[in-house]
Amino acid sequence: MVTPFRGGEVDYEAMGAQIEWQIKQGTPVISPVGTTGESPTLSHEEHERIIAFVVERVAGRVKVMPGTGSNATAEALRLTKFAKRTGADAALVVAPYYNRPSQEGIYRHYAALAESGDIPIVLYNVPGRTGRNVDAATVERLARFAPIVAVKEASGQLDQVSELIARTDLTILSGDDTLILPMMAVGASGVISVVANLVPTDVMALITAIQQCRLADAQAIHRRLFPLCKDLMGIAPNPIPIKMALNLVGRGNGEMRLPLCEADSSGTLALRNALQQYGLVS
């Protein structure tokens, strides 16, 4: 879920409206303060307040899985414990970023979180942002910790997905909207989605079609979603395009925090064209 801002401050009224809209659409899990939620530009106090706000507003109607990762193990542990105390159902924990730890360092980071809390943990592997891949062998070691239940896999490597499925019993979730179909074809279970901020019912329809082995239907939904998903990831780094898209369809104001800013005119035109082709704007 994106984090809406107004005048530089978190817009909790708009956030509440987003939550209600997602619940009405049938979204089963809401994941705030992740990459799409601009967590790197939130203060610690804002990060915690958003987690508490979402849990309270959802009020048990769907699951809540906030992002609680950090490049500092102590900070990730503090946020994960806070999410547990607040009533979140799980924690999405990105691999340590910027400091580029070894595989042993990554293992010890996640092990410290798993040993210190009893909230389900979803590992988040996104080497394009963190600078380090979480290798399948490392995930296999971590799978022995009961709180670690799933992996959000955003390496873009299908071989890694296949290796994770072969080496662990963890739930594997796509971290790339364009790869939902191929990843589920080799054994992933679903997606933690960006485009679902716009069209959650279409994303859920794709997952259902794959689960029900309706390949032709799944391929048709994939073909329809693919251009929109590609542009949402391609014209500028996430969450710039999704915030601009929500503004264009009348469900947000597009405000971001520096250093993020709107795409240039060619990117804006490409995004508008993608939304028009999908039927989201006239």
81 noted as active-site residue: no
Catalytic residue (one of 84, 107, 152, 243): 152
- Distance (Å, rounded) from C-alpha 256 to C-alpha 132? 27
- Distance (Å, rounded) from C-alpha 122 to C-alpha 203? 20
pLDDT band at 99 (very low <50, low <70, confident <90, very high): very high
CA 191 to chain centre: 8
110 noted as active-site residue: no
DSSP string, 105-171: HHHHHHHHHHHH--S-EEEEE-HHHHSS---HHHHHHHTTSTTEEEEEE-S--HHHHHHHHHH---E
pLDDT band at 116 (very low <50, low <70, confident <90, very high): confident
* Number of Cα atoms under 13 Å in the Cβ half of residue 257: 18
Nearest alpha carbon to residue 153 among 189, 119, 105, 120: 189
- Distance (Å, rounded) from C-alpha 150 to C-alpha 121? 7
Check residue 118 and give its pLDDT: 83
Per-residue pLDDT of 136-167, as tens digits, reads 999 999 999 999 999 999 999 999 999 999 99
DSSP-derived secondary structure letter, 177: G
What whole-number percentage of the chain has pLDDT above 90?
97
Check residue 202 and give its pLDDT: 98
Residues 6+ apart with CB under 8 A from 212: none
Check residue 29 and give its pLDDT: 98
The CA distances from residue 69 to 44, 77, 114, 175, 265, in Å, are: 12, 8, 13, 15, 34
Residue 169 CB neighbours (<10 A): 7
The domains located in the chain, with CATH, are: 5-202 (3.20.20.70)
Catalytic residue (one of 124, 230, 243, 278): 124
Nearest alpha carbon to residue 138 among 130, 38, 37: 130
Instruction: Give pTM, 2 decimals.
Output: 0.94
